[in-house]
Amino acid sequence: MDFQEFVDSYSMAAAVLSVEKLGEEHWGEIRIVKANAMYKKIMGSNYKDGMRYDELVQKEANFEDFCYRCAVKKLHLHAYVDTKSMGVWTDGTYIPLSSEFDTDKLSYFVFFFEFTKTPEAERLSDMSMEAAPFIIQTCINLRKAENFIEAMNTAIADIQIKTDSFCSAIFMIDTEKQKYAPLCAKYRNDEATIELPAIFN
């Protein structure tokens, strides 16, 4: 496949990216292999084929996780998120490319997106019919809560039950100081605990 010809067929900003595979749930560099004219225009004059994405925009853990799951695990993903570093909301779609293009070290996917200056309700409401009532009820519970910590504990307990997970938790993260601390956690077994360092001092 000619990656350049492929991304040029998109009417919105689009690029083929590669993800370096370092093992299960681990990745290395994420690079922009080829991009169409609109993508290059948005990214500015510093853009060049083959560069790491974080040479253009701020490194973002959630974006990298999406890239890995799409390219390596071959999942079709969509996200509408507040891109604070750019002052916009990004409506992005991640589509895996066939494994026939993959190598031992690299997997590929196509990423296309558009920006909105403010959040748009119809984009935010893009969720499955099964998930929607649960999400809406959780939001209502959080809004009417008088005690923040109790509300967070209730929310994660509901999530833990809904997802049938062993544990759900909320962490506070200070990216500037590179510190984190648990805010609250709920375990399937009430006697279970996970020792975590309280380093938010």
- State pLDDT tens for residues 68-89: 999 999 999 988 877 776 777 8
pLDDT of residue 136: 65
pLDDT of residue 126: 57
Q: What are phi and psi of 108, to 5 degrees?
A: -125, 155
What pTM did the predictor assign?
0.62
pLDDT of residue 201: 47
pLDDT of residue 200: 47
Sheet holding 26-35, edge to edge: 26-35, 13-23, 106-116, 88-96, 77-83
- The segments of the chain whose pLDDT lies below 70 read 85, 119-133, 135-136, 190-201
pLDDT of residue 181: 84
**Token duo for residue 89:** 């909301």
Task: Give 90's strand partners.
Answer: 81, 115
Q: Is 181 exposed, middle or buried (0-12, 13-18, 19+ CB in 10 A)?
A: middle
pLDDT of residue 167: 84
Tell how far CA 91 is from the center of its chain.
11
Distance between CA atoms of residues 68 and 58, nearest Å: 17
Q: Is 56 helix (H, G, I), strand (E, B) or coil?
A: coil
Q: Is 11 exposed, middle or buried (0-12, 13-18, 19+ CB in 10 A)?
A: exposed
